[in-house]
Structure 1
Amino acid sequence: MDIEERYNPFTGKRVVPGLDDPVPPAAAMGLEPPRFCEHCGRRMIVQVSPDGWWAKCSRHGVLESHQLERR
């Protein structure tokens, strides 16, 4: 079974299944955009605007705040 590695989008640390993965309080309240790519852990370019934000990973593309609101 091949398990895909995941990274915390707010700390950049690898997520280990079964271990607590704390999220900063501001991020938990939706006030902080992700700063790291969940797929590779790389630091992303982040742009914040009054109506949302976008974050770009050099390998995995762009994530926009409105995409997360639909989930």
Structure 2
Amino acid sequence: MTPSDEPGYCVHCGQPSPGGADHPACHNPRTALEPPRYCVFCARRMVVQVTPVGWTARCSRHGETASG
């Protein structure tokens, strides 16, 4: 990870957020179950696929993440 790849954005709204954590505006019970919509590293909108067993989210620059 390079210095520019440090987490710094909210995964739900794409706004700056220290450490990539949810900031208060997006921290509620509803968002806890939502897949990420924005890349935590660059705030780009991700391609998200939701299936019955989980989800995958792909950033064009930083790759794919999936539910665990």
Normalising by structure 1, we get a TM-score of 0.73
Give unpaired runs (5+ residues) of structure 2.
none
The correspondence for 1:10, drawn from 7, 12, 21, is: 12
Per residue, is there more helix in 1 or in 2? 2
Shift of 1:15: 1.0
The correspondence for 1:43, drawn from 25, 41, 45, is: 45
Q: Percent identity?
A: 49
Shift of 1:27: 1.5
CA distance in structure 2 between the aligned counterparts of 1:16 and 1:8, rounded to whole angstroms: 9
Shift of 1:5: 5.4
Normalising by structure 2, we get a TM-score of 0.76
CA distance in structure 1 between the aligned counterparts of 2:67 and 2:47, rounded to whole angstroms: 14
Counterparts of 1:1-71 in structure 2, within 5 Å, are 4=6, 6-16=8-18, 21-22=23-24, 23-28=27-32, 31-66=33-68
Larger radius of gyration: 1
Give unpaired runs (5+ residues) of structure 1.
67-71
